[in-house]
Structure formats: C-alpha cells, structure tokens
Amino acid sequence: MKKYRTPSLVINLKNYDEIYSHFSVDISKISESIATETDVEIIVCPPNPVLYKVVENVSIPIYAQHVDDAKIGSSTGSIVPELIKSINCQGSLINHSEKRISINEIEKLIQRFRELDLTSLVCAQSIDEVESIAKLKPDIIAIEPPELIGSGRAVSKVNPKIISDSVDTVNLIDKNIDVLCGAGIMTGEDVSIALELGAKGILIASGVIKSNDWKTIILELSKPMIKSD
C-alpha cells in the first residue's frame, strides 16, 4: 500500500542558508497550508539537524535527504532508517546526485525501507541508472540530470526525452514504480510539461527556496497537480 499520493510535489530544502533555524519549519508550514488548500501531495525534505522539529510541526509527509545502510547502535554519524522511522519520517531521498551511494547500498536500503514501511525515493542521473535501480523495486525513481540541478533550466524543457524514456524504461520493468523528475524546474509550466511527459510529480529545490515568496511559488507549482473532480 503506497504511503504517498501522486502527483507529488517534493521540495528538497538541501542546506540552503535560507532555510536555517526556524525557516525549515516556516516553509514546511506554508507547504502544509497549500497542500490543505489544493489537496496536492506536497512532501518536504529538510536537512537532518531540523528533521525532528519539522516532523513535529506539520502533518504533511516529511522525508530525509539521505540515509545510510548502517547498523542500529554504534554507528556514529550515520543516519539509520530505523531512527527516521522512529521520529515519524515517512521516507527518504536515496542516492541524490549530491549524495551518491553504491548500487549495493541502494539495494539494501530499498529492502530495509520495505520492512520498515518507509517510502524509498531513489534518484538517478541517467536512463541506464534508472533501469538498474528499477530492477531493485523502489517505490519511486526520480530522474535528475546533474548538469541541470540548480541551473534554472528545467529538465522538462531542456531534456524532455530523458523523462519520457525514464517512464518507458520503468514501465517495462514494473508499472507500480512511480517516476518523478527534477533539476532546474522553476514554474508551473515546467511542472505541466513534466506531467504531460508521464512523470508522476517533480522534485525542486532552488526554484522554491531562492524565491522571495514561498507561498506564491509553491502554489504555482501545485496548480498543475490539482485533480479535477
């Protein structure tokens, strides 16, 4: 049973200084208010030092930005899946372009997430990687061409084929895996094109965090995802 709805808007806060201190809670509360207003699934990924505080303050799904396949107990500095589960995180990004891990560790984490009923959102940089990861049966695969991350040049406009090819590749392996896309997305139009290409949602960071009006931009990005009755 999936613990998330699609289409999904995933906002990765990364470590931008705009979201330090209480601002991670602030942007998450804004996201929650828009999720309530639009009924769109909005998922926020705060940095680890504020993860628990954000989860405690909002009711929308909160995901970690990274986890380690480390043991419970003496594993200093690692982020253990059981711990994020214990604070009511609902999942995590895995293998983000800015935090890459081996395919073996990805496989172990997907299995561990399944046992913990956590949602695995595994990132990929290429079609080959999408294919390799899809065979491991994560819940979600996000295609993100690294050269477009933070560029303001939307993957859905600059490289639409990588989105449609990712969807086709995954559907040939397991239609239950949802494909999201990210990198350079800035506007509601960028989101609309991604959905038309078959993506079940988008990941975004700088286009939201660097905006001077979080509420307006998150609402704009959500509108193409609003389900008509």
Active centre residues (catalytic): 96, 144
Residue 193 touching ligand G3P (CB under 6 A): no
Site for ligand G3P in 199-228 (CB under 6 A): 203-207
Site string for ligand G3P, 60-89 (x = CB under 6 A): ------------------------------
Bridge partners, 124 (sequence order): 143
Is 48 within 8 Å of 77 (Cβ atoms)?
no
Q: For ligand G3P, how many residues bind (rule: CB under 6 A)?
A: 14
Shortest Cβ distance from residue 134 to ligand G3P (Å)? 19
Q: Which is nearer to ligand G3P, 225 or 228 (CB)?
A: 225
Amino acid at the residue 68: D
The three-state secondary structure class of 219 is helix
Site string for ligand G3P, 95-134 (x = CB under 6 A): -x--------------------------------------
Is 166 within 8 Å of 122 (Cβ atoms)?
no
Q: Which is nearer to ligand G3P, 23 or 111 (CB)?
A: 23
- Report the distance separating Cα 150 and Cα 51, nearest Å: 23
Sheet holding 8-12, edge to edge: 41-45, 8-12, 201-204, 178-182, 140-143, 119-124, 91-94, 63-64
Residues that bind ligand G3P (CB under 6 A): 12, 96, 144, 149-150, 182-185, 203-207
